[in-house]
Copies of this chain bind each other. A is one copy, B any other.
Amino acid sequence: MKNLLENIEEILLMGPGPSCVPPQVYKALSQKTLGHLDPYFLMIMDELMEMLRRIMNTKNKLTIPISGTGSAGMEACFVNLVEPGDKVLIITNGVFGMRMQDVAGRLGAKVDALEFTWGTPAVPEAIEKKLRQDSYKIVAVVHAETSTGVKNPVAEIGALLKGSDAIYLVDTVTSLGGIEVMMDAWNIDALYSGTQKCLSCPPGLAPLSFSEKAMAKLNGRKTKVPNWYLDISLIANYWGKNRVYHHTAPVNMIYGLYEALYVIFEEKLENVFKRHMESYRALVDGLKNMGLKMLVEEPYRLPMLNAVSVPDGVDEKAVRQRLRSEFKIEIGAGLGPLAGKIWRVGLMGHTARRENVERFLAALKKVIGK
- Interface residues of A, Cβ cutoff 8 Å to B: 1, 3-5, 7-11, 13, 15, 17-18, 20-21, 26-36, 38-40, 43-44, 47, 67-72, 74-75, 79, 99, 102-103, 105-108, 194, 196, 202-204, 224-230, 245-253, 255-256, 258-259, 262, 265, 324, 330, 335
The answer to whether A248 touches B26, judged by C-beta atoms less than 8 angstroms apart, is no
Cβ contact within 8 Å between A17 and B224: no
Query: A19 to chain B: closest CB distance in Å?
Result: 8
Closest 8 CB pairs of A and B: A204-B250, A71-B247, A26-B30, A75-B229, A202-B252, A30-B30, A203-B248, A103-B228
Q: Given the complex of chains A and B, what is the CA–CA distance between A252 and B161 in angstroms?
A: 40
A341 CA to B284 CA, complexed, in Å: 66
CB distance from A351 to the nearest CB of B (A): 11
A255 partner residues in chain B, CB cutoff 8 A:
5, 8
Q: Are B203 and A36 in contact (CB under 8 A)?
A: yes
| A204 in contact with B18 given A4-B47, A106-B224, A227-B75 (CB within 8 Å) | no
Residues of B within 8 A of A253 (CB): 202, 204, 250, 253
**Contact status B8-A34, CB under 8 Å:** yes
List, in ascending order, chain B residues with CB within 8 A of A67's CB: 68-69, 72, 204
In the complex, the answer to whether A5 meets B18 with C-beta atoms within 8 Å is no
Q: How far is the CB of A97 from chain B (nearest CB, A)?
A: 14
User: Known contacts being A68-B68, A75-B227, is A30 close to B29, with CB within 8 Å?
Assistant: yes
| Given known A-B contacts A3-B262, A247-B69, A258-B4, A15 and B35 have beta carbons under 8 A apart | yes
- Give the Cβ gap from A201 to chain B, nearest Cβ, in Å: 9
| Docked complex Cα distance between A75 and B247 (Å) | 12
Q: Pick the most buried of A67, A105, A229, A248: most chain B CB atoms within 10 A of its CB.
A: A229
If A30-B26, A44-B5 touch, whether A226 touches B106 (CB-CB below 8 Å) is: yes
Q: Are B4 and A32 in contact (CB under 8 A)?
A: no
Q: Which of B17, B33, B71, B224 contacts A202 (CB 8 A)?
A: B33
How far apart are A34's CB and chain B's nearest CB, in angstroms?
6
- Do A32 and B3 touch (CB < 8 A)? no
Q: Provided the pairs A228-B103, A248-B196, A252-B29 are in contact, do residues A72 and B68 lie with their beta carbons within 8 angstroms?
A: yes
Q: Which residues of B contact A99 (CB under 8 A)?
A: 228
Tell whether, in the assembled complex, residue B31 and residue A251 are in contact, meaning their CB atoms are under 8 Å apart.
no
Question: Which of B10, B39, B204, B224 is the one whose CB lies under 8 Å from A252?
Answer: B204
- The 19 sampled A-B contact pairs (Cβ below 8 Å) are A4-B43, A5-B262, A8-B34, A10-B32, A11-B32, A11-B38, A15-B35, A18-B36, A29-B252, A67-B68, A69-B247, A69-B248, A72-B247, A74-B229, A106-B225, A106-B228, A108-B226, A203-B251, A245-B335
